[in-house]
Amino acid sequence: MFNRWKLILVLMLCGILFSSCENSDSQTESHSEEETRISQDEMPVYALITKEESNLYMQKMEEGFKKGCEEIGVTPVCYGPSDYSAQAQIGIIEKLIESHVNVIAIAANDADVLQESLKRAMDQGIVVISLDSAVNKDSRMLHIQPADPEKVGRVLIQAATSMIGNTGTVGIITTTGYATNQNLWIKWLKQEVEDYPEKYKDIVLLPEVYGNDEEEATITQTLYLLSEYPELDIIITPSAVSMVAVGNTLREQNSDVLFTGLGLPSEIADFIEIDQSCLWFYLWNPIDLGYLAAYSAHALDNGDIVGEPGDRFTAGTMGYRVVSGSNDGGTEVFLGDPVKFDESNISMWKTVY
Amino acid sequence: MGFLKKLVISYSIVILIFMLILMGIAYKYIGSVSQQTAQINQSQLLQKISSQVEYYLDEMYKMGSQVASDTRVINVFNDLQEDEDQANYFEHNIMDSIDMGSILTSYNAPDYLIWRISVFNQYGDYMSDGIDIQNQTSGPVDKQLVEFFMAELQSMEETDESGTGKKFLLNFQNASDDSGDDEYTYPTMSMLLPITNYYADETYGVVEIQQNMENFQEFIALDQLEDTATVYLFDQEMNQILPRDNDYNSLDKNQFYITNETVKTYGWNLALAVTRASMTQPYHGIWGYIILVSFIIVISLILAIYVITKRITTPLTDLSKSVRHITLDNVPSELVQDESMDEVRELNTAFTAMLERLTKSLAYEKRAYLLALQSQMDPHFLYNILSIISGMGLEAGNSDIADICGKISALMRYNASFSNSNVTLGDEIEHAKNYLELMKIRYEDYFCYTIHVNEDLKQMQMPRQVLQPILENCFEHGFKSVPPVWQIEISADLEDGRWYVRISDNGVGFGDMELEELDKKVEEYSKNLPENYHELKIGGLGLINTILRLKLLLGEGVEYQVRKNTPRGTIIVLREGESSDDKDTDS
């Protein structure tokens, strides 16, 4: 009889938790008493906090995270704030701490602001990792790096200049000034130009502008660049939201300016296949990123690794992975190189993510 | 041992032998069927695995061909032939590295059916995508090995030794990180294809399609085989590929049934080894069932036999006891009470009838004995009287009276003698002669007779008073309505080695109807002699009496014939039968 009631309770909890993954409107406010007991469930609960709930890239990451959790045999719960706010993410973290989840994996909206909450989570025995966009080294046990930031930054400027024949003006629309990963990529982008002045001698690199990962703000910044720099040849934008906004703005403006960056194939396919305003762009597989995060968290949760450089573990179908030191002094695991999407493969990739 | 036990044990042994033979046949049949079924199943299983291996290799080859024929790949590796620097080009050229990685990823996505795809050349340029054993751009490029691969592939291009039109090499190795930790060591199978510029007929590099052997084994479902079955996979040169921890050569071939199959396109060979014991394993349950059912059937049959046999033998035993206790003074009217079975009832009836006949025979025997005693008493008086008459005739000087009395006396003594029921033909002829002489005295010239007897037949045994009843018939019936002179002729001789006695007269003779009637009566009285015994007294049906008594003595050894004489009268022939002659001949 006890087991039957226990089973009913677990099913109810799972129903509530899965519905929260499907509909995250209730993210911070709707943690009920039942949810506070989720950690008492026999099945471990792994939580993923995304940057923003409606972001397609983040949703694909959720998809991979859930897939990994299902393979591992843990219960995934996914939350995301309604805006790119670090404060909203703190609220979610606090609730998850109360719920005694086993793992918190977060794509941070700010590298430092979340530190207090995440440290408290770790103090209570919760495994904390960041993915996609890292928190500082003290706020995490491990970061899941989608790609080597140096490679991403350097390839973005190499690709942009290649598209315009190594001569012309290059603009950059990024997200926010405190977005960890974007800042890192742009840092390496600029480093590439500095390292090879001869190669980029005919390139004018404009100062970056901020679209805050919001459509309206990005459109505004695009229009600003178009009007302020009529000689503009190409825009680099290392954000999925910005990529779509820039592409749509260029289309509406009938502009000959090209754009590239990091985007989702399903959103950018038309700009390659029809508009041809984007010749190619890059991105890693966000599904794989979420999947790798689930297995990395599991390795930490199980005690297979402690998050030190040289730790090794097997990440499901992705095979063997090694923990390495990161530039910020912490540790990280790489997903792999980004994929180049162009007219040869976009029709296949747009069906994937 | 009792009758019941003998029957039950005999039947039980028969049933057991029958069941054992039946089970033996069933064992052979089921064994044969099970082996055939297992062989068919194994053959089908191996064909399925062979198809899966072929499909798997086809997919690898297809993927390798796509990558190797991609112009972007060809162009990059063509350019890299100019760069003889041993450093990995892709490690230092980010955009080309990502380009190449994206090409490889895009071929493999979205299902990632290939474990790892790599492209490399002899100058250390290397790029891979898939499961990450090592860094994508720091693959295990062994210059000598790559040069060997390229030389082999180039050679294959020229000679096309594979004969399949597919140019590839297969390589089996363990992929591992630098630590060599077994946990992160993966046995792999690689298919190597040349990156070729067909127009220049040059090989610029190699595409390696690498699969984890565990994945391969899972795909062809080797891990789902029963423990009693093992599939061995060999390449074209019969080098064992799978399983890696079980050497085919160390297999005890007597313990296993082995089926072989070839993966046609690639020339690989498959051998399925199944323990012989396991081939009949599925039928063990059936055998248990058959043995149990057979045991129940045998026990049931033995019990049934016991019950039935007991039911049959009990009345027989009772009958046997009853018969054993029968005496002449105590003949029961019914032997057993149980008449539930037809056979017992028939037996009872037959025994009872036999006892009745026995009782009647005993009664006849008693009466005959009394009559004999009675007949021995009366003649003494007549003999004395005849002796007195004979003496008186002699005193009166009439010797004829004495002669007549002597003949009558001899006649009566012959008739009344019971000392021996059988006499010789000579005795009988002498007796007939006395009778005829008396008749001659009576009828004088109205009657005459002749007797001719073969001397060799005079000692022949025959019943008493065979001839007298026939002779009496002549006077009582034959001569009554015909004028004298009446003649009787008796002859006894051999004909064709068989004896015969013929009595002929010139009396009135038998009509056709009478002859038929005579035959019928002989047949009828022969069948039921005891009941008609009283009608056969001498002087009644004399001829029939004679024939029947001859039959009683000689059985089928005597034949009779009654026919008309010419111009009138009757001829009666008693003759030794043919069956008797046969018997004599046989003996």
Q: What total of structural domains would you count in chain B?
A: 3
B411 and B453 belong to one structural domain: no
In terms of domains, do B121 and B258 share one?
yes
pLDDT for residue A3:
44
For residue A322, pLDDT beyond 50: yes
Residue at B581: amino acid letter? D
Query: At B263, which amino acid appears?
Result: V
Give A319 to chain B, closest Cα distance, Å: 5
Percent of chain B with pLDDT over 90: 15
Distances (CA, A) of A33 to A37, A43, A96, B385: 7, 18, 12, 158
Clarify whether residues B413 and B461 are in a common domain. no
- Cβ–Cβ under 8 Å, residues B490 and B526: no
| Residues sharing a CB contact under 8 Å with residue A6, sequence separation 6 or more, in sequence order | none
Query: Between B54 and B31, whose confidence is greater?
Result: B54
Topology annotation, domain A149-283? Rossmann fold (3.40.50)
Are residues B359 and B459 both part of a single domain? Answer: no
Between B331 and B382, residue with greater pLDDT: B382
Q: Has residue B298 been placed in a domain?
A: no
Same topology for domains A2-147+286-340 and A149-283, yes or no? yes
Instruction: Please tell me whether the interface predicted TM-score (ipTM) of this complex is above 0.85.
Output: no
The minimum CA-CA distance between B102 and chain A, rounded to whole Å, is 5
B121-172: pLDDT as tens digits: 888 888 888 876 555 444 555 666 777 777 777 776 554 445 566 778 787 7
Residue A283 confidence (pLDDT): 94
- Where residue A319 falls (left for φ over 0; alpha for ψ -120 to 50; beta otherwise) is left
- Among the residue ranges A187-191, B262-266, B282-286, the one predicted with the least confidence is B282-286
Q: Is the pLDDT of residue A341 over 90?
A: yes
Residue B205, pLDDT > 60, answer yes
| Residue spans of alpha helices (H) in B109-142 | none
CB atoms inside a 10 Å sphere around CB A220: 17
Q: Which residues from B are below 8 Å from A338, CB to CB?
A: 98
Residue B583: band (very low, low, confident or very high) from pLDDT cuts 50, 70, 90: very low
Query: What is the distance between the alpha carbons of residues B126 and A194, in angstroms, rounded to a whole number?
Result: 28
Distance to chain A for B293, nearest Cα, Å: 45
Same domain (yes/no): B402, B509: no
Which pLDDT score, from 0 to 100, does residue B182 have? 66
* CB contact (8 A) between residue A322 and residue B177: yes
Maximum mean pLDDT: which of A31-45, A262-276, B25-39, B334-348: A262-276
| pLDDT of B338 above 80 | no
Question: What was the pLDDT predicted at B538?
Answer: 45
Residue B439 lies in a domain: no
Is residue A104 helix, strand or coil? Answer: strand
Question: For residue B73, is pLDDT > 80?
Answer: yes
Q: What is the model's pLDDT at position A308?
A: 94
Out of B245, B276, B307, a domain closes at: B276
What number of other Cβ atoms are within 10 A of residue B398's Cβ?
13
Please give the Cα distance from A109 to A106 (Å, whole number): 9
**Per-residue pLDDT for B41 more than 70?**
yes
**What confidence tens digit (pLDDT) does each residue in B274-315 have?**
888 777 777 778 888 888 998 999 999 999 989 988 888 887
**B57 and B189 share one domain:** yes
Residue B435 within any structural domain of the chain: no
Place B477 in a pLDDT band, splitting at 50, 70 and 90.
confident
Residue length of chain A: 353
From the CA of A75, how many Å to the nearest CA of chain B? 25
DSSP A275: I
pLDDT score, position B386: 87
Q: What is the CATH number of the domain that holds B527?
A: 3.30.565.10
Q: Which residues of B touch A155 (CB under 8 A)?
A: 94-95, 98
A72 dihedral zone (left: phi>0; alpha: psi -120 to 50; beta): alpha
Tell me the torsion sign for CA atoms B152, B157, B163, B167.
positive
CB contact under 8 A, B132 and A344: no
Q: Is the pLDDT of residue B108 over 90?
A: no
Q: How much of chain A, in percent, has pLDDT values that exceed 70?
A: 88
Query: Does residue B479 share a domain with residue B402?
Result: no
**Which residues from B are below 8 Å from A281, CB to CB?**
none
Least confident stretch, A263-272, A278-287, B307-316, B537-546: B537-546
* Across A23-27, A258-262, B442-446, least confident range: A23-27
pLDDT value for B92: 86
Selected from 3.40.50.720, 3.40.1390.10, 3.40.50.2300, 3.40.50.10490, the CATH number assigned to the domain covering A2-147+286-340 reads 3.40.50.2300
Report pLDDT digits (tens) over B395-416: 888 888 888 998 888 888 887 7
Does one domain contain both B376 and B474?
Answer: no
Q: Which residues of B touch A320 (CB under 8 A)?
A: 131-133, 177, 184
B47 and B182 both lie in a single domain: yes
B235: helix, strand or coil = coil
- Strand, coil or helix: what is B237? coil
The residue of A285, A339, A344 whose CB has the most chain B CBs within 10 angstroms, and thus the best one to mutate to test that interface, is A339
Q: Please, what is the Cα angle at B69 between B171 and A287, to 5 degrees?
A: 80
Average pLDDT, chain B: 81
The DSSP annotation for B412-466 comes to HHHHH--S-SEEEHHHHHHHHHHHHHHHHHHHGGGEEEEEEE-GGGTT-EEETTS
CB B73 within 8 Å of CB B63: no
Q: What's the confidence (pLDDT) of residue B449?
A: 94
pLDDT of residue B164: 60
DSSP class of residue B140? Answer: -
**Test the A interface: residue of B132, B210, B219 with most A CBs within 10 Å:** B132
CB A314 to CB B109 under 8 A? no
pLDDT at A5 exceeding the cut of 50: no
Residues B369 and B469 in one domain: no
Nearest to B132 among A155, A159, A336 (CB): A336
* More confidently predicted of A324 and B140: A324
User: Domain boundary residue among B209, B242, B276?
Assistant: B276
8 Å CB contact of B98 and A339: yes
In this predicted structure, the answer to whether residue B327 has a pLDDT above a threshold of 90 is no
Tell me: do B137 and B231 sit in the same domain. Answer: yes
More confident of the two residues B533 and B347: B347
Residue B421 has a pLDDT of 64
Same domain, yes or no, for B338 and B224?
Answer: no
Strands (E), chain A: 45-49, 75-79, 103-106, 127-131, 142-145, 168-174, 203-205, 209-210, 232-237, 258-261, 281-283, 312-314, 320-322, 324-325, 331-334, 339-341
Angle at A275 between CA A273 and CA A279, to 5 degrees: 65
pLDDT at position B587: 33
Helix (H, G, I), strand (E, B) or coil at A278: coil
Residue A30 has pLDDT above 70, yes or no: no
Strand A103-106 and strand A127-131: the pairing is parallel
Burial of B118 (0-12, 13-18, 19+ CB in 10 A): buried
* Full residue range of the structural domain in which residue B175 is found: 28-276
CATH of the domain at B89: 3.30.450.20
Q: Counting beta carbons within 10 angstroms of the beta carbon of residue B289, is it exposed (0 to 12), middle (13 to 18) or buried (19 or more)?
A: exposed
The pair of structure tokens assigned to B54 is: 């072929």
Chain B positions in Cβ-Cβ contact with residue A162 (cut-off 8 Å): 95
Whether residue B240 lies inside any domain: the answer is yes
Provide the 8-state DSSP code for B335.
S
Q: Do B102 and A158 touch (CB under 8 A)?
A: no
Lowest-pLDDT range of B176-190, B460-474, B549-563 = B176-190
pLDDT category at A117 given cuts 50, 70, 90 is very high
Kindly state the tokens that stand for B81.
Answer: 């032939």
User: How is chain A split among helix, strand and coil, in percent rounded to 5?
Assistant: 45, 20, 35
For chain A, the structural domain boundaries read: 2-147+286-340, 149-283
The percentage of chain B sitting over the pLDDT mark of 70, rounded to a whole number, equals 84
